[in-house]
Structure 1
């Protein structure tokens, strides 16, 4: 039971490294505040709610209209270990992005144990394709579509970045202008050995197919759009190391990225940067649309 499983850790330590809610006892306070601020944003801003981009029960998004047509779009994917939270919890960044001249979308997707992670990856790709195809109706510039996500959402955002849009969807190769991953997970192998496995049910094929770490194309084959990654120094070592390992593999493939490690930010307080126009994370996400 206590055999070494990952990075020299036994299962108990691996579980501790992956359990950000246990690591951050005040996480529920963040959830409550996000929900309250999101309710205000939906009350005050022009929003089209529950737009269906697929047939699944949670394949819907909330879309906050820009102040002017032709704006860039920041589409956000929530985290929750691919099994919890909701798009409605993440309406609160819409106000700051609208002030910065963006449209904003918050995306839901079907979750474990009802669907597999590879299926979630496909759903997010479908959501991006749907947004691109409805850009004129939604009044944003399809050439400036930026995708971002937090935690499991960061993983899904990067998997969308790896998509061959032309081959798989008949869309322009640069359908995504850029991608931001906040506290993302890039290698699913440790999840398959952890307390999350009974719900996620990851087999080796899913780990290989749905881990960004193992699917980076060489830049000589396919140059990918801009990637920004951030992680908090107050997060567990595993989350910090996942970003470092992935950034190293990304660079080795000849792709380019910008990374930040934020002192004092934990897995939940880092999300507040999305609603703070003065923060380096917010500014980096906006630059992805340039």
Structure 2
């Protein structure tokens, strides 16, 4: 009789060969595939659906299932979806990836267009940082070793919270709490708005220039890693190229990595175990975070 494990392995192998299923069916399918091939081994979701903020937002908390019980570095991960789609449950694969690498991971939801416009999703991000500062110790995390990571629209939130000091200050959070930031295929310099999602998301901003992360580049910014995909047709590479150049000109610590041949979605997929061979997105981002989140 063929064992259940062999059957599962055959199914997973077929899905991985097909590959495009994870892309067309969305990140939830990717999380299922990741779980089937052991992406969650060595990790635990220790809280699910935790309320935070002032608008009914919720978050999950993941951590390594073994090893040190306290003092662990912390990552807050924001998913993408054009400010319109996405939910934390579908991005378990990303949380598990960073938890397996030794981080306590906070995975928050945020409000979406058309129910809200700028700056609501950035404000939700700031509230997630405040919650993490106040509560992450109970899960073994050290709020003094905090890094921000995001993909696409989530990378926009990362850049705004890292560079534009208005949002954390409004939540009473010390600006120095962010010690490192990683943006995966994020929009940082996209005004004038041409894409419908950007037009919708930024609609009504009194000064559209103030929606642009590059506007807030500063010499004392924490270290940033900006990752791009060579075949990204959704978020043009000039976003990261321009922000990298601006930060370097100011003397701020920044690194830019481009993965030729990858699409916008491929960069997120590469965080999952089935598709990690596409590019060392996880390894590169973890190395960057480890280097900058060392215990003081």
TM-score interval for Structure 1 and Structure 2 normalised by the shorter chain = 0.7 to 0.9
Q: Secondary structure at the match of 1:45?
A: strand
User: Which whole-Å CA distance do the structure 2 matches of 1:266 and 1:194 have between them?
Assistant: 18
Partner of residue 183, structure 1: 185
What is the CA-CA distance between 1:150 and the residue it aligns to? 0.2
Partner of residue 3, structure 2: none
User: Which whole-Å CA distance do the structure 2 matches of 1:100 and 1:196 have between them?
Assistant: 33
Q: What is the TM-score when the length of structure 1 is the normalising length? A: 0.79
Match of 1:65 among 43, 63, 66: 63
Q: Which moved more, 1:200-209 or 1:137-146?
A: 200-209
* 8 Å contact from structure 2 (residues 75, 147) kept in 1: yes
Q: What is the TM-score when the length of structure 2 is the normalising length? A: 0.78
User: Which whole-Å CA distance do the structure 2 matches of 1:48 and 1:194 have between them?
Assistant: 36
Q: Does 1:272 align with 2:269?
A: yes
Q: Which moved more, 1:208-217 or 1:35-44?
A: 35-44
Pairs within 5 Å for 1:1-290 = 27-29=23-25, 31-37=27-33, 45-57=44-56, 59-66=57-64, 67=66, 68-164=69-165, 167-190=169-192, 192-196=193-197, 199-203=200-204, 205=206, 207-217=208-218, 219=219, 223-236=220-233, 239-275=236-272, 276=276, 279-290=283-294
* 8 Å contact from structure 1 (residues 151, 183) kept in 2: yes
* 8 Å contact from structure 2 (residues 118, 205) kept in 1: no
- Alpha-carbon distance change, 183 to 131 in structure 1, aligned in 2, over 3 angstroms: same
- Alpha-carbon distance change, 38 to 55 in structure 1, aligned in 2, over 3 angstroms: farther
The number of residue pairs the alignment matches comes to 261
What is the CA-CA distance between 1:123 and the residue it aligns to? 1.1
Could you tell me which runs of 5 or more consecutive residues in structure 2 were left unpaired when the two chains were aligned: 1-19
* 8 Å contact from structure 1 (residues 117, 206) kept in 2: no
What is the CA-CA distance between 1:31 and the residue it aligns to? 2.8
RMSD: 2.8
- Alpha-carbon distance change, 201 to 246 in structure 1, aligned in 2, over 3 angstroms: closer
| Runs of 4+ with >3 A deviation | 24-27, 37-44, 163-173, 275-279, 285-288
User: Which whole-Å CA distance do the structure 1 matches of 2:203 and 2:62 have between them?
Assistant: 35
* 8 Å contact from structure 2 (residues 185, 235) kept in 1: no
What is the CA-CA distance between 1:71 and the residue it aligns to? 0.7
Residue by residue over 1:180-225, the C-alpha shift from the partner in whole angstroms, topping out at 9 and shown as x without a partner, is: 00000002424x33333563252453522221011223x2xxx121
* 8 Å contact from structure 2 (residues 27, 91) kept in 1: no
